[in-house]
Chain A
Amino acid sequence: MTNLALSFYILVWPMIVAIVLGVLVRAFVSELRAARREGRPLI
């Protein structure tokens, strides 16, 4: 593999992790808002 491909191979994982983190935070915030709106506990 070239240096560029190896660099991408190393750095692509943190990039995907960032996307997953975004999905989780977004879902959590929306569930928290819905729980507050309905006056029930989140869990």
Chain B
Amino acid sequence: MQLQQLGTPLTLLLLAVFFGGTFLISLSISRKRENADDYMTAGNHVGFGVSAASMTATWIWASSLYASATSGYTYGISGPIHYGLWGALMILFIYPFGKRIRTLAPHASSLAEILNARHGTSSQLILAGSNILGSTLSLTSNFIAGGALIAMLSPLSFSTGVAIIASGVLLYTLWSGLRASILTDFIQVCAMLGAVVIVVPTIFFAAGGPAIFEAGATHLTAEQQSFFSSEAFLNQGAPYIAAVLAYAIGNQTIAQRLFAVRPDKIKATFVTATIGYGTTVIGVGMLGVLALYLGVEPMNGDVNNLVPQLAAEYLGVAVLCIFFVMVIGSMASTADSDLSALSSIMMTDVYGRNIAASDRPDPRLMLLIGRATMIVATGAAVYFASARFNILELLVLVGAIWGALVFPVIASFYWNKVSNMAFTVSVLAALAVFFPVRFGWIALEGPVAFVSDLLAVIGVGVIAGLMAFGFFGPRVGRIAGILAAIAVLPFGMGFLHEYTVLTASLLAYAVSMLLCVAISWRSSEDFDFTRIAQATGRFDDGEDFDLAPVAATQGRPT
């Protein structure tokens, strides 16, 4: 099948306009006298418009657009809902915990830094290590998606595409860190959301409009035609619900925006980002549903090609350019957030709170470390991208690993009896149970299956309890958790172990909760939460230093 392409000159022009524009925006906010704290948190006082746009742009990445369409193509009309809705709720459910975290540590740079203040180094490094792994994989995944798109829609090669995308993102993020990331996110979210508004209806009507559903109904199974498909829920929706809290707690890109936004705008930011992310991703997912009705076969058998395929088949050159910018925007906005997150973790959690812990951290060296981290991370991601690993699968795995961290992290911010021992032991034990189940090293049969199902049911209760706890407090949280576990018990026993991906995540939640509670219950720890505010953030007291060779060479006022 021959797809319409953009041609090399047009592709290069679009990329030059996109990355050139974002670089100019980045230059407009770079400062001769940069501040290490602002580099990581953008001053802790960003308004609603910029922060909501940034949160939305960061959470929408190229893979989520493709995966939502894949869900629509695989599971039918309910598929995109089971992808986009739960992804959107990740943002919403972190909001009440975000408010608490911001109250405890108004000037923190990372969640791991707060854990250092709360528990010490081992807890901090567990979270920071998982953040580094997750962000590096996310960065790689975005480069792969960008390279693949350029290779499909232009005569340029995959490697050239990856190199252009990596250079473009690094170029505008390097100088101003998070400030550049969130300001350019606004432009990128306008491109992405604007494109969804134009591209989805255009493809729908170009492919035949409402008549598609009559002519193509035979391509769908009964499950795919059902809005209440149990197959879609169990294979797509349920594992995502398990991952809802894990991604939001474990992902430093979200935490970084939480620390950047004005405290009185946290709620508005999270609610708007929830709606923005959900509708955008579900909207693009509808292209997968259309492909299913149209009987489209994915090119080379790869379902990730569905969206670009539909775009190339049904869009004229002008709208195809808009589509191209949409995907590049989704990829760049997440990639720059990953670079900022990685630099922040290395600056704060590796250098600031550990290597320089005994001395006063040098803000100038911190900035150098932050920028060096971005360059090294970009190089590593380009290398991994060239190997074309199945990054999305690895990333889903990292998300599931974060499931082991959720309860101990949240409990540490509310319960003064949780000790470093309780945190570390519960997380490591949960991981020790997670891996053998996830990779099938243990056969879930007989008594093992019984115990596994019982723990998985408890895991369901933990997730429901935590979600209710965030919004309604401990009493409602406990009741919701117990009710959810009781409700799932009758059909979960003898059944859940058949879904190993879901079971592994649920076991991680259950084991970490049981051990964390058991160890903390009898603990003599009585942590004073007011200590966290004093022990986090504020690396740079304003002693300025000149770091802007770029500003000077650009001839801009500084």
Contact = CB atoms under 8 A, between A and B. Distances in A.
Interface of A: 1, 3-4, 6-7, 9-11, 13-14, 16-18, 20-21, 23-31, 41-43
B193 interface: yes
Interface of B: 29, 42-43, 46-50, 52-53, 56, 77, 179, 182-183, 186, 189-190, 193-194, 196-198, 200-201, 204, 209-211, 213-214, 227, 272, 275-276, 279-280, 282-283, 286, 289-290
A14 B49 contact: no
Given A1-B77, A6-B77, A27-B48, A21 B275 contact: no
Nearest to A29: B49
A21 B291 CA distance: 26
9 contacts: A4-B210, A6-B210, A10-B200, A20-B272, A20-B280, A24-B193, A25-B49, A27-B49, A28-B186
Contacts of A42: 29, 47, 50, 183
Given A9-B77, A43-B29, A43-B42, A16 B210 contact: no
Contacts of A43: 29, 42-43, 46, 50, 179, 182-183
B210 A11 contact: no
A21 B197 CA distance: 9
Contact of A13 (B42, B53, B56, B279): B279
B229 to A, nearest CB: 13
Lowest 7 CB-CB distances: which A-B pairs, in order? Answer: A27-B49, A13-B283, A28-B49, A31-B47, A21-B193, A16-B279, A3-B210
Given A24-B49, A31-B50, A14 B211 contact: no
A3 B204 CA distance: 13
Contacts of A1: 77, 227
Given A21-B190, A27-B52, A7 B196 contact: no
Given A27-B48, A43-B182, A10 B289 contact: yes
Chain A residues touching B, majority SS: helix
Given A10-B200, A11-B204, A43-B29, A31 B48 contact: yes
B31 to A, nearest CB: 9
Chain B residues touching A, majority SS: helix
Contact of B49 (A3, A7, A13, A31): A31
Nearest to A2: B213
A22 to B, nearest CB: 10
A20 B276 contact: yes
A21 B194 contact: yes
A4 B42 CA distance: 47
A14 to B, nearest CB: 5
A18 B342 CA distance: 32
B152 to A, nearest CB: 23
A15 B179 CA distance: 30
Contact of B47 (A7, A18, A27): A27
Given A17-B193, A43-B29, 9 more contacts: A14-B197, A14-B200, A16-B275, A20-B276, A21-B194, A24-B189, A24-B272, A25-B49, A27-B52
Contacts of B286: 9-10, 13
Contacts of A29: 49
B201 A14 contact: yes
A24 B193 CA distance: 10
B280 to A, nearest CB: 5
